[in-house]
Structure 1
């Protein structure tokens, strides 16, 4: 049976951010912590060794695979900062047109630094992502 690697842990978010070697990336991580906390209203939790997540939801796919994941989150990785949002149709692409300098993956948006993006657009993407997931998985509200 498949075992989820990324689970909510009781590790300290602050200790994790303090372990980020690059000082500018560490400062951005603290700023993102404030933005995500204020925007979501959820307490930050560590998910796995390196993802800072906010809120959570239980998903179940048609295949029977199920698990829990954070509603939104971020990770200050060495190469770039990964921002985790829902993958799916919630106007993500339209919102990201005004986001600033970034790259996208299926569920991730990658940025180099906060100065490259429009924080108000980030907040809109956070809100829309949470709304989308809560509508998709209504038993999690």
Structure 2
């Protein structure tokens, strides 16, 4: 069997990780994201590696033979910003969001107060729909 994903679900309690986030504003934002993603996904929060909070899981298998499990959606609190792991989004989806930047499969936000939360909710819903289509349960 081919090697799987390096970032795997762990047994760490999400609350333990959330309680260590600094500064307090970032911790509050992380808690808001955790509640929002749990509500929209219908899945409990699970730690993936030491710092990623994920919701749901899927199994992937590439033509190369590599396979593994990963989170359907999630986020991490990094030193400079929050990183949201969302898939299936394009530039047009981002117009109403507000202050952010994008990477491959990632959305970077410094503070939730800088973005439109209704727009973020729509992005999360679209990402979940994309994952359901690409990786049916």
- Show the counterpart of 1:35: 36
- Show the counterpart of 2:117: 119
TM-score normalised by the chain length of structure 1 = 0.90
* Rounded Cα–Cα distance in structure 1 between residues aligned with 2:131 and 2:66: 17
CA-based RMSD: 1.3
The CA deviation at 1:91 is 4.7
* Rounded Cα–Cα distance in structure 2 between residues aligned with 1:53 and 1:66: 18
Change in Cα spacing, 1:91 to 1:108, as seen in structure 2 (3 Å) is: closer
- Contact 2:10 2:47 survives alignment (8 Å): yes
TM-score normalised by the chain length of structure 2 = 0.93
* Rounded Cα–Cα distance in structure 2 between residues aligned with 1:119 and 1:22: 21
1:82 aligns to 2:59 (yes or no): no
Change in Cα spacing, 1:3 to 1:65, as seen in structure 2 (3 Å) is: closer
Written as runs of structure 1 = structure 2, the 5 A alignment for 1:1-141 is 2-86=3-87, 90-138=88-136, 141=137
* Rounded Cα–Cα distance in structure 2 between residues aligned with 1:91 and 1:23: 30
Change in Cα spacing, 1:82 to 1:91, as seen in structure 2 (3 Å) is: closer
**Structure with more strand by fraction:** 2
Q: Structure 1: which 5+ runs fail to align?
A: none
The CA deviation at 1:34 is 1.2
- Contact 1:92 1:125 survives alignment (8 Å): no
The CA deviation at 1:4 is 2.4
